[in-house]
Structure 1
């Protein structure tokens, strides 16, 4: 057991603009088969969203999380969009948009949800937005560079990085390939592009530990490990590492015991409620009684914890998120 509560640091929500949320999903993504899977994963229908508003998803997340015996809270992530040359939101290039205001309001209603902000640093007022989300209680800033068209290695972002460091806000940024959307600039998920914020002293969290894809002629996870050896301020979350398309990647990462203090618990909710994370995919590694116990667990967060414990994730890792975020928890 860990001395710190278990916090899921990688939990998604979504919205279609219902109830004046300001959220939107692009027409292209709504036409994709992926959109229907995401609705099903959240356990809602579009008709329900239209009737009850986008706040329905955070409410259900909070209610399900309240039923967990193991996980105390979850960081729910906003998602900024693509920005044009004028530093303004480019709606036509943005596949999903979840404004900070929507998430900040949701977490005020649900004490077991924490505010994960998202600010595209290319916005004309990026620094002002950063100050605002910090004042509203954000515990981190989330990027998905390959979708938001952010180059973390762009030196024009140095003032943004320096303010992140001063505010002690961690930067959670996707690393590796991205397959949840209809298009992706995967070169922007190259962990090597994180060298600049790391040099500026930002606490950087590589989402999914760069566990898939290649850049520069080598696997992204090797590029991530090399950076870890250079920068003690580089962390990683273990979300998505039990998915069927990432089999073996969690055990590979756990072999580096020197990194256990920098690995953070996350789920990539709602993907843990879909078939791609079924414990059956790990049956070859689990004793039948253990597999049966995991399969019998109905709460998705508790089932995820049980599976990751069975796959060798040490107790320390489950408490690391709370330890890292402790200065920002209010």
Structure 2
């Protein structure tokens, strides 16, 4: 009886997590074309028709892992065990969205990602363009204290630079390697050079969860090296709610803190367009300095400055999420910055059922009700395609994201890494 009740409870929990996470059981992405309705198939082909599939770059895809001894990846213990109900609930929702089980290997997540990517673009268009889209597999460094020491206890997720590189080497048709280096580290510039010598160009930061203040003078030597090596920092902007198991300081998501890097000539991609949270206007005088302004407005203010032309960019990852979608009208209307926006999914976030609501987008007047139903159909087979398709269909008073957003940006080339890499070292 006890085993029956335990089994029943486990199954009931899975159902709940699937409602919040994802519902992808037995709906393989390879079946998308043959299984979609005719209308959904038409929409699926429409969103890719004017895009060069070989030049689609997703600048924002998270690698995930927990097999510390084998891969070096690390998850905060509260995500896997213990009594923190919120953290374990979030972890289980993510597992459902990623379509993997708690005890699966790190390889299982990679195989799922590969399947979504390789079955993303319609096959005839892949043949037409000579390739399919690729993903920047994001590394993520430990949180560090001001002395430059790593602090696993304050780290929610750690993905080593070598892991991102190895993944890309073994699956180079789908993945592009990245690195993540905390600038407080004593060896930060040395590690940066090691990664650049491998051909890596993109650096991932999540300041809110890494105890990293981008405006600290401790970052200056690192910024100078980033500029000299022509690398690019992809930095989270806005509030953070996913990786909070170790620590979180959302004031570090203020876009204005990145001015220090920009003023030293660094290229920056502001992840998520700072589309969640409000922040102090650090540029204002008192008493206005204490007022809080939506992060997206600060992002647009910075993107509008001529001195940051060619240096400052933003990605549209996670902008369709339920807590961020209210700012989509602002982003869509700011056409003067669209030439510096790049595509990002923030996968696995768009696979989380409760995070992305086509009904909300319809209520906001950003998609039609018919398209909402067709997009939901696509989601069940391939949430990565779903994210791409939703962003291609968004429209507000005639404003849309141009097709250039969904292609590799000419000033943010990442696909030459294999030509530049002398080999693993």
| Corresponding residue number in structure 2 for 1:234 | 312
Residue 43 of structure 1 is matched in structure 2 by 99
Would you say 1:151 and 2:210 are equivalent positions? no
CA distance, structure 1, for counterparts of residue 51 and residue 277 of structure 2:
32
In structure 1, the partner of 2:110 is 58
Report how many aligned residue pairs link the two structures.
326
* 2:178 aligned counterpart, secondary structure: strand
Change (3 A) 1:288 1:126: same
> How far does residue 74 in structure 1 lie from its aligned partner after superposition?
0.6
Q: For residues 177-256 of structure 1, what are the structure 2 equivalents within 5 Å?
A: 177-180=239-242, 181-182=244-245, 183-216=247-280, 217=291, 218-230=293-305, 231-232=308-309, 233-256=311-334
- Secondary structure at 1:245 match in 2: coil
Alignment of 1:1-330 (within 5 A): 1-2=50-51, 5-17=55-67, 20-30=70-80, 31=84, 32=87, 33-49=89-105, 54-69=106-121, 72-111=133-172, 112-180=174-242, 181-182=244-245, 183-216=247-280, 217=291, 218-230=293-305, 231-232=308-309, 233-275=311-353, 276-284=355-363, 285=365, 286-297=367-378, 298-311=381-394, 312-321=400-409, 324-326=412-414, 328-330=416-418
Conservation of the 8 A alpha-carbon contact between 2:350 and 2:387: yes
* Cα contact 2:351–2:384 (8 A) shared by 1: no
CA drift at 1:66:
0.5
TM-score by length of 1: 0.93
Q: Shift in Å at residue 171 of structure 1?
A: 0.4
2: distance between equivalents of 1:62 and 1:98? 18
CA positional deviation for 1:200: 0.9
User: Deviation at 1:323?
Assistant: 5.5
Instruction: Answer with 1 or 2: which has the greater Rg.
Output: 2
Deviation at 1:63, TM superposition (A): 2.2
Q: Structure 2 CA distance, aligned partners of 1:296 and 1:178?
A: 29
CA distance in 1: counterparts of 2:377 and 2:346, whole angstroms = 21
TM-score, normalising length: structure 2 = 0.73
In structure 2, the gaps of 5 or more residues are 1-49, 123-131, 281-290, 395-399, 419-425
Q: Which moved more, 1:12-21 or 1:320-329?
A: 320-329
Corresponding residue of 2:9 = none
Q: Mark the CA change 1:300 to 1:139 in structure 2 (over 3 Å): closer, same or farther.
A: farther
Query: Do the aligned residues in 2 keep the contact of 1:5 with 1:322 (CA within 8 Å)?
Result: no
Report the Cα distance in structure 1 between the residues aligned to 2:71 and 2:344, rounded to whole angstroms.
25
Structure 2 contact 147–184 (Cα < 8 Å) conserved:
no
Alpha-carbon shift at residue 244 of structure 1 (Å): 1.2
